[in-house]
Amino acid sequence: MITVLESIKLSKDYLAGKGIESPRTNAELLLADIIGCKRLDLYLLFDRPLSEIELQRYREYIKRRGNFEPLQYILGKVEFYGLELKVTQSVLIPRPETELLVENIINQFSKKKEVRILDVGCGSGNISIALAVNLVTANLITTDISQEALHLAKENSEKHSVSDRIKFINHNIMKNDLYNFPMFDIVVSNPPYVSKESFSSLQREIKDFEPRNAVTDENDGYTFYKAIAEKASTKLLAKGKLFFEIAQGQSDEVRKIMEQNHFINITVIKDYQNIDRIVYGELK
Task: For each of the domains in the chain, give its residue range(s) and CATH number, in order of start.
Answer: 4-67 (1.10.8), 89-283 (3.40.50.150)
Q: Structure pTM? A: 0.94
Summary mean pLDDT of the chain: 96
Provide the pLDDT confidence category of residue 76 given band limits of 50, 70 and 90: very high
C-alpha 162/C-alpha 135 separation (Å) is: 11
CB 74 within 8 A of CB 63: no
pLDDT of 121 reads: 97
**CB contact at 8 A, 89 and 110:** no
Which pLDDT belongs to residue 30?
98
Angle between the 147-159 and 126-134 helix axes, to the nearest 10 degrees? 30
Residues 137 and 114: beta-carbon distance below 8 Å: yes
Does the structure show a pLDDT above 90 at 233? yes
Determine the Cα–Cα distance for residues 232 and 282; give it in Å rounded to an integer.
11
Q: What is the pLDDT of residues 143-193, one digit of tens each?
A: 999 999 999 999 999 999 999 999 999 999 999 999 999 999 999 999 999
In tens, the pLDDT along 13-51 reads 999 999 999 999 999 999 999 999 999 999 999 999 999
Burial of 227-253, coded b for 16+ CB within 10 Å and e otherwise, reads bbbebbbebbeeebbbbbbbbeebbeb
Complete DSSP assignment for 144-211? ES-HHHHHHHHHHHHHTT-GGGEEEEE--TTT---TTS--EEEEEE----B-HHHHTTS-HHHHHHS-
Q: What is the DSSP letter of 127?
A: H
The answer to whether 228 and 197 are in contact (CB under 8 A) is: no
Number of H helices, E strands in the chain: 11, 9
Tell whether the model's pLDDT for residue 220 goes beyond 90. Answer: yes
Residue 269: alpha-carbon gap to chain centroid: 18
The pLDDT score that the predictor gives to residue 1 is 85
pLDDT at 112 > cutoff 90: no
